[in-house]
């Protein structure tokens, strides 16, 4: 049976909108046992250990990564030969978060922590470069992403299947309506959702 590992972004959690929408969809389909959405630690080393644990509980899952989660998904896809669907992914995130060193607060849990040099260095150490097998990737971008310049991902993942939409935002507008494409890429049969209105997953 196909499966999905959802990987959230920086200072996010399993309570983020896209994670909730995908979880609600999988539950509606009776597939919740084939999905994991770990709440990742802010330390990249610990986060990767959590993701490795989740991988061990699933059978060759589709990796769905948002923002920083897109970077983690790329690392895992390259290490283990997995498929990955990246939503407004962060490219070389250690360069992006360098300016944010210092006190942080998780948007959902309220946890306060400090972004240090060690965190930035740990992110850089994970780098696997551009995808070696682009056919295993889908990259969904929206041009009005207010956090990341979509053109960075467009260039980095240029050999992959790119879905670029005008407008939108970093959260990726209308994600729920695109879940059939995600499920198909994961390998689930369309028969499972032929009568489902995906716009209801809010």
CATH code at position 185:
3.40.50.1820
Q: Look at residue 26 in the predicted model and tell me its pLDDT.
A: 96
Tell me how far apart the alpha carbons of residues 115 and 98 are, in angstroms, rounded to a whole number.
Answer: 9
- Comparing 193 with 150, the larger pLDDT belongs to 150
Q: Look at residue 99 in the predicted model and tell me its pLDDT.
A: 81
How confident is residue 73, by pLDDT bands cut at 50, 70 and 90? very high
Q: Which residue has the tokens 């920083």?
A: 68
Q: Look at residue 111 in the predicted model and tell me its pLDDT.
A: 94
Instruction: Assess whether pLDDT exceeds 80 at residue 150.
Output: yes
Q: Which residues pair with 64 in a beta bridge?
A: 6, 85
Domain that residue 115 falls in:
4-200
Which of 41, 135, 37 is closest to 82 using CA atoms?
135
Query: Residue 190: CA atoms inside 13 Å, Cβ hemisphere, count?
Result: 5
Which of 128, 127, 130, 155 is closest to 141 using CA atoms?
155
Structure tokens at 174: 């209308």
How many domains, the chain? 1
Q: Which residue has the tokens 């467009």?
A: 154
Instruction: Assess whether pLDDT exceeds 80 at residue 49.
Output: yes
How confident is residue 145, by pLDDT bands cut at 50, 70 and 90? very high
What SS3 class is residue 85? strand
Burial 121-143 (b: 16+ CB within 10 A, else e): ebbeebeeeebeeeebbbbbbbe
pLDDT in tens, 87-117: 999 999 999 887 889 999 998 999 999 999 9
**Mean pLDDT, rounded, for 9-23:** 96
**Mean pLDDT, rounded, for 42-64:** 97
Neighbours of 113 (CB within 10 A): 14
Instruction: Assess whether pLDDT exceeds 90 at residue 30.
Output: yes
What SS3 class is residue 184? helix
What SS3 class is residue 178? helix
**Mean pLDDT, rounded, for 78-86:** 98
End-to-end CA distance of the chain: 26
């Amino acid at each position: 049976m196909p499966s999905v590992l959802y990987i959230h972004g920086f200072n996010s959690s399993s309570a983020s909108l896209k994670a909730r929408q995908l979880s609600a969809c999988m539950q509606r389909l009776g597939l919740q046992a084939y999905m994991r959405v770990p709440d990742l630690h802010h330390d990249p080393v610990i986060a990767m250990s959590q993701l490795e644990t989740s991988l061990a509980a699933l059978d060759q899952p589709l990796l769905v990564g948002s923002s920083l989660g897109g970077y983690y998904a790329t690392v895992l896809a390259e290490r283990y030969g997995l498929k990955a669907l990246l939503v407004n992914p962060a490219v070389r995130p250690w360069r992006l978060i360098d300016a944010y060193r210092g006190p942080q607060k998780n948007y959902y849990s309220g946890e306060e922590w400090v972004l240090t040099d060690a965190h930035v260095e740990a992110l850089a150490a994970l780098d696997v470069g551009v995808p070696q097998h682009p056919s295993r990737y889908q990259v969904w971008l929206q041009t009005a992403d207010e956090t990341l310049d979509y053109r960075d991902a467009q260039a980095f993942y240029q050999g992959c299947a790119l879905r670029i939409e005008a407008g939108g935002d970093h959260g990726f507008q209308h994600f729920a309506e695109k879940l059939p494409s995600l499920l198909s890429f994961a390998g689930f049969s369309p028969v499972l959702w032929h009568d489902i209105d995906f716009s209801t997953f809010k």
